[in-house]
Amino acid sequence: MLHKATIAGMAMDPASNTPIIILKTEAEEHVVPIWIGLLEATSIASVLKEVAFDRPMTHDLFKNFLQQMAVRVIRVEIIDIRDSTYYARLYFSSEQGGDFDMDARPSDAIALALRFDAPIFIDDQVIEKSKHDVSEAEAADQTEEGKKWADYLAALSPEDIGKA
């Protein structure tokens, strides 16, 4: 069974200095934390805070491409956790008459869902596995650029980001 979810907030994992996006189901109020990369966290935060950049970020570029092709994201499903890795599917609708879906990282899928105002769903098994998953966070980006984004995200409070 799928549960509609919203973004409850974003945080930094103090142990690894890695961003975490926190999804919360609407009806049952289950919470699912997903460790994501710094650049994906920045992309998500920019939409939540309505920050516009001079040049399109990767997710904005992909959105622009999809719109040119008359395709839109209609929903995202977080479908599984295997070996501490979360899996998602992106669902698309095309004006030329074809609906299709593809595998995606949850962070990329969420970044696109926000740009298309598409709903996010979490599968039962993800909710159940996330309760027992002692996830190893992705390794933090130790480059100067990575440290800059980590500092930026660490300074954000839930009030800065808002709620979906």
Q: Please report which confidence band the pLDDT of residue 65 belongs to, taking 50, 70 and 90 as the band edges.
A: very high
pLDDT tens digits for range 94-130: 988 889 999 999 999 999 999 999 999 999 999 998 8
What is the rounded distance in angstroms from the CA atom of residue 141 to the CA atom of residue 147? 7
Give how many domains the chain has, as a whole number.
1
> Residue 111 burial by CB count (10 A; 0-12/13-18/19+): exposed, middle or buried?
buried
Q: Which domain holds residue 137?
A: 2-161
Is 149's pLDDT higher than 80?
Answer: no
How confident is the model at residue 28, as a pLDDT?
Answer: 79
Q: What is the pTM of this model?
A: 0.79
CATH number at residue 119: 3.10.690.10
Whole-number mean pLDDT of the chain? 85
Is 143's pLDDT higher than 70?
Answer: no
How confident is the model at residue 131, as a pLDDT?
Answer: 78
> Residue 23 burial by CB count (10 A; 0-12/13-18/19+): exposed, middle or buried?
buried
